[in-house]
């Protein structure tokens, strides 16, 4: 038997055989509108979406906005936009009609109050009249004693007469869950296996705050039940809240959904992923040119892997392939390292795949055009940009690499750059002399077709006549035409640049 510590709570868990899910799953993604969509949030949404589609179920988007002090204007719209960009489309949600509307928790507060009253009436919850000052003193005193259960259950012992007196005095109160002190609360997590929580470590959590708004715990349980959620896939940080939710389900007489808690996302050094560590928001990845299929592929592997399959690559998946192969039993509970080098590798392969079709290539052109427009404001013709991408695609990881790595497609080379000087120092003088001759350039100008095949033939024949290494001649051409050591084949680059640009850079002005 192993022991896992989450926050301050000891949780005993035993990994057992986990159930295979074959019936339609009804799942939800329930973010708070407090800012941009986090990479971890996208993973949670993706896993829920994959499970729903795998089982022919439904994926619901619910907005948990009961904490109005943290509400950020436009956050819901941005969140939906990010999910749509990723191809994660909800079946029900705040922007779609559904049988369980409304999908904003702030519009469901009367429901929560009704069920909170039911819990009080059945003695599964109680009113707490303690002031913030008393709660703080109790918390500090109990911590000094090594007792990390923050509340001492003081108001759970009030008589009915004392309660009525406080109500008549209009003393503010919260509603707390009456947690049993003895026994264990157990459940079988689809990732962690069987988990047992000692009830004496579970606080009498607040269900309704003094302002009348519900806490996450009550709203979450009520909505998951009323919206007929069958599976709850959420981050590991919610594992310690699970016993509270299970006790709530029991108190309300409801069957709980199945739970699967997802591993933490970590930096390469093992620390928890945070915005101080670099890019953590989906919009940051969008702005940097990552493809949605690459981000989905990358995020899917943060805690899940389907194992080896001889028919597919073990790391590259389309959305359809992810749906086909996704299974909760393949999720592990070890922290998942966010490796951006792996993301770049995945993005490169999806970029190559996109470029294989005309539609895909056109979409890459649409991504490249504003980048070029912002930097160079020329050569924006879609046909030209598609040729640039098709030529250079094997040498880039991201469409955003092109303006910097391949600026010579759009502006004159900078022969004073460090890269150009390094290349210049490697050139052979006889090759430079050949490229500079009038004969070489005139023959190049007179080629019947200015394409890679004819250009290569001309270079090789010229080098052979002059007893030179054709690779040295190509290197000289690369210097004069690009000023860069990095790029596609020289002949292919010349074809894309076009005869007029090539002749101009070689010193023939037409």
How would DSSP label each residue in 306-375?
Answer: ----TTS-SS---HHHHHHH--GGGB--SPEE--HHHHHHHHHHHHHHHTTSHHHHHHHHHHHHHHHHHH
pLDDT tier at 142, thresholds 50, 70, 90: confident
**Residue 100: both structure tokens together:** 């369980």
What is the spatial distance between Cα 81 and Cα 42, in angstroms, rounded to a whole number? 12
Percent of the chain that is helix, strand, coil (3-state, to 5)? 50, 15, 35
Task: Specify the pLDDT at position 97.
Answer: 81
List the catalytic residue out of 117, 272, 275, 457.
Answer: 275
Least confident range of 12-16, 385-389, 429-433, 488-492 = 12-16
Query: How confident is the model over 199-228, as a mean pLDDT?
Result: 96
Please list the residues that pair with 281 across neighbouring strands: 38
E strands, 223-294, in order: 231-235, 258-262, 265-266
Superfamily of domain 2-93+215-266, CATH level 4 = HUPs (3.40.50.620)
Q: Is 468 helix (H, G, I), strand (E, B) or coil?
A: coil
**Residue 44: both structure tokens together:** 């949670």
* pLDDT greater than 80 at residue 20: no
CATH number for the 418-505 domain, one of 3.40.1160.10, 1.10.15.40, 1.10.1040.10, 1.10.10.350?
1.10.10.350
**Residue 406: both structure tokens together:** 């391949």
Instruction: Tell me, yes or no, if 144 is annotated catalytic.
Output: no
What is the spatial distance between Cα 167 and Cα 505, in angstroms, rounded to a whole number? 88
* pLDDT greater than 60 at residue 303: yes
pLDDT tier at 313, thresholds 50, 70, 90: low
Region of residue 336 (left: phi > 0; alpha: psi -120 to 50; beta: else): beta
Q: What is the mean pLDDT of the chain?
A: 92
DSSP letters along 104-120, please?
Answer: BGGG-HHHHHHHHHHHH
Q: pLDDT tens-digit profile of 173-194?
A: 999 999 998 999 999 999 999 9
Higher pLDDT: 450 or 35? It is: 450
Please list the residues that pair with 11 across neighbouring strands: 4, 197
Model pTM above 0.85: yes
Percentage, residues of the chain above pLDDT 70: 93
**Residue 272: both structure tokens together:** 């928890």
Query: How confident is the model over 369-373, as a mean pLDDT?
Result: 94
Q: Where do the domains of the chain lie? A: 2-93+215-266, 418-505
Higher pLDDT: 71 or 235? It is: 235
Region of residue 139 (left: phi > 0; alpha: psi -120 to 50; beta: else): alpha
What is the spatial distance between Cα 371 and Cα 359, in angstroms, rounded to a whole number? 19
* pLDDT greater than 80 at residue 284: yes
């Amino acid at each position: 038997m192993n022991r896992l510590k989450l926050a301050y709570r000891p949780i005993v868990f035993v990994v057992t055989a986990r159930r295979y899910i074959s019936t339609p799953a009804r799942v939800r993604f329930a973010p708070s509108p407090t800012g941009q969509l986090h990479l971890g949030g996208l993973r949670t949404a993706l896993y829920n979406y994959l499970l729903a589609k795998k089982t022919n179920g439904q994926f619901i988007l619910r907005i948990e906005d009961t904490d109005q002090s943290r509400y950020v204007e436009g956050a819901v719209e941005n969140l939906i936009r990010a999910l749509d960009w990723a191809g994660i489309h909800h079946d029900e949600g705040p922007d779609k009609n559904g049988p369980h509307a409304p999908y904003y928790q702030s519009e469901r507060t009367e429901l929560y109050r009704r069920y909170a009253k039911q819990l009080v009436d059945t003695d599964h919850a109680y009113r707490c009249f303690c002031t913030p000052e008393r709660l703080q003193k109790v918390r500090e005193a109990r911590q000094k004693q090594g007792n990390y259960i923050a509340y001492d259950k003081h108001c759970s012992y009030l008589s009915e007469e004392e309660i009525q007196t406080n109500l008549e005095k209009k003393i503010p109160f919260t509603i707390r869950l009456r947690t049993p002190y003895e026994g264990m609360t157990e459940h079988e997590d689809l990732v962690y296996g069987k988990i047992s929580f000692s009830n004496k470590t579970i606080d009498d959590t607040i269900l309704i705050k003094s302002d009348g708004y519900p806490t996450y715990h009550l709203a979450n349980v009520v909505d998951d039940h009323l919206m007929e959620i069958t599976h709850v896939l959420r981050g590991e940080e919610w594992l310690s809240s699970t016993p509270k939710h299970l006790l709530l389900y029991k108190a309300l007489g409801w069957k709980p959904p199945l739970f699967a808690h997802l591993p933490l996302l970590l930096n390469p050094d093992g620390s928890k992923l945070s915005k101080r560590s670099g890019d953590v928001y989906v919009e940051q990845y969008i702005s940097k040119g990552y493809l949605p299929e690459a981000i989905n592929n990358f995020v899917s592997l943060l805690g899940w892997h389907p194992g080896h399959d001889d028919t597919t690559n073990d790391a590259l998946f389309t959305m359809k392939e992810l749906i086909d192969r996704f299974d909760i039993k393949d999720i592990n509970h070890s922290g998942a390292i966010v490796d951006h080098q792996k993301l770049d590798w995945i993005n490169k392969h999806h970029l190559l795949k996109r470029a294989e079709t005309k539609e895909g290539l056109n979409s890459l052109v649409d991504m490249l055009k504003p980048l070029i427009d912002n930097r160079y404001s020329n050569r924006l013709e879609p046909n030209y940009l598609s040729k640039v991408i098709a030529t250079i695609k094997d040498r880039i990881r991201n469409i955003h690499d092109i303006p910097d790595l391949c600026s010579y497609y759009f502006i004159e080379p900078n022969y004073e750059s460090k890269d150009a000087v390094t290349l210049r120092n490697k050139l052979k003088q006889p090759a430079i002399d050949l490229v500079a001759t009038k004969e070489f350039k005139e023959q190049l100008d007179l080629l019947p077709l200015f394409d890679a095949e004819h250009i290569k033939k001309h270079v090789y024949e010229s080098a052979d006549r002059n007893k030179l290494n054709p690779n040295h001649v190509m290197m000289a051409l690369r210097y004069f035409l690009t000023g860069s050591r990095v790029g596609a084949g020289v002949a292919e680059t010349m074809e894309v640049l076009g005869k007029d640009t090539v002749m101009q850079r070689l010193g023939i002005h037409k």
